[in-house]
């Protein structure tokens, strides 16, 4: 955590907002406890297999709906066939507060009804390539919460993976919301800075990222 320099909120692109230090230390601790529980089951955290045979370097566990490339399912057919953990009410409430604060729009926050969370854990050299979040059948915003090591979060535009993009340092407790014209912007994590996290969160190493989304599925 950088206690010396101020880290003001920033509108990175239309509909894309970075709110540094949005989660309190207690909220980060509670999220870490919840992520630890989800990581062991009913569907364990795993490296997602990609359709062309590759494997993602981050490990992922899902809540509410199970994500695999191009599909959301209630049951993790690509892992162990179990039904994913239920999406808790408290996580939906956190998402509503996030959207209201990021967009300074209480009505948009009230209307936000996320039904899935993807929990990504970055350890060692794990990174994430530029991609769009487009397996959801909804244009509702994505709420991204970071805990642990700082990362470089690269946020681009919907037309392609290349420039222009903005590199944002996401630290433990930061919130990033992207929706509206930026909902389908390409984004990725080219770098995580090991050893920069705050052990008081309960995470002794690595980086956790939780994204809340609306699947648009019944």
Which residues contact ligand AKG (rule: CB under 6 A)?
Answer: 118, 120, 128, 133, 144, 153, 170, 187, 189, 209, 211
Give the nearer residue to ligand AKG in terms of CB position, either 79 or 118. 118
Residue closest to ligand AKG when measured from CB atoms: 209
Give the span between the Cα atoms of 135 and 70, in whole angstroms: 5
Least distance (Å) from ligand AKG to the CB of residue 100?
21
Give the span between the Cα atoms of 212 and 204, in whole angstroms: 24
Least distance (Å) from ligand AKG to the CB of residue 184?
12
> How is residue 10 written in tokens?
């920033």
Number of Cβ within a 10 Å radius of residue 180: 14
Least distance (Å) from ligand AKG to the CB of residue 200?
21
| Lateral strand order in the sheet of 142-148 | 10-13, 16-19, 175-178, 142-148, 207-213, 116-122, 55-63, 46-49
Least distance (Å) from ligand AKG to the CB of residue 171?
11
Give the nearer residue to ligand AKG in terms of CB position, either 81 or 129. 129
- Among 218, 181, 215, 182, smallest CA distance to 113 is for 215
Give the nearer residue to ligand AKG in terms of CB position, either 85 or 175. 175
- Among 153, 152, 147, smallest CA distance to 203 is for 147
Least distance (Å) from ligand AKG to the CB of residue 207?
7
Least distance (Å) from ligand AKG to the CB of residue 113?
19
Give the nearer residue to ligand AKG in terms of CB position, either 34 or 170. 170
Tell the burial category of 66 from Cβ atoms under 10 Å away from its Cβ (0-12, 13-18, 19+): buried
Give the nearer residue to ligand AKG in terms of CB position, either 61 or 81. 61
Give the nearer residue to ligand AKG in terms of CB position, either 143 or 170. 170
Give the span between the Cα atoms of 22 and 61, in whole angstroms: 23
């Amino acid at each position: 955590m950088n206690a010396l320099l101020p880290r003001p909120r920033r509108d990175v692109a239309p509909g894309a907002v970075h709110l540094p230090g949005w989660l309190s230390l207690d909220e980060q601790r509670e999220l870490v406890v919840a992520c630890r529980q989800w990581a062991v089951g009913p569907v364990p955290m795993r490296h997602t297999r990609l359709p062309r045979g590759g494997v993602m370097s981050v490990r992922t566990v899902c809540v509410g709906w199970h994500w695999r490339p191009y599909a959301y399912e209630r049951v993790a057919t690509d892992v162990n066939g179990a039904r994913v953990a239920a999406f808790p009410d408290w996580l939906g409430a956190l998402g509503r507060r996030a959207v209201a604060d990021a967009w300074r729009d209480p009505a948009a926050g009230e209307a936000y009804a996320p039904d899935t969370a993807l929990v990504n854990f970055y350890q060692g050299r794990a990174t994430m390539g530029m991609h769009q979040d487009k397996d959801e059948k909804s244009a509702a915003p994505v709420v991204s919460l970071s805990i642990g090591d700082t990362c470089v979060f690269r946020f681009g535009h919907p037309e392609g993976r290349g420039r222009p993009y903005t590199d944002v340092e996401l630290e433990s407790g930061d919130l990033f919301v992207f929706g509206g014209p930026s909902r389908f912007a390409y984004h990725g994590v080219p770098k995580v800075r090991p050893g920069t996290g705050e052990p008081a969160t309960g995470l002794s190493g690595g980086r956790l990222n939780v994204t809340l989304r609306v699947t648009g599925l019944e």
